[in-house]
Amino acid sequence: MLEGDLTLHSHLRMGGSWGVYARGRRWRRSPRRAWLVIRAPEHEVVQFDGPVLELMTDERTGLPCPRCGTLVNGRGQGDDNRTSYWCPGCQS
């Protein structure tokens, strides 16, 4: 979970990967292939070549986004009709 009860959801498909590196250590893939970098005081978490990134919430349709206050949207998708949630203010 991320701060404010937000969840980062990714789908790597066939070519994507995550890497965890000590801060300042060289990454195994080119920085141009990084889709997301999360930096903490001692580590960097990097998603490479991941075509899908979603910032999701948990059962928050119609509630204010904890980050910006915009009302959260939700929609069922996929074969299982799993609900995905997003903030139209933070995610365009």
Q: What is the mean pLDDT of each run of 10 residues along the chain (92 residues)?
A: 62 86 94 92 92 70 84 79 81 73
pLDDT given at position 2 = 43
Interacting residues of 4 by C-beta distance below 8 A, sequence separation 6+: 66, 67
49/63 Cα distance (integer angstroms): 32
Nearest alpha-carbon partner for 17 in 47, 53, 55, 54: 47
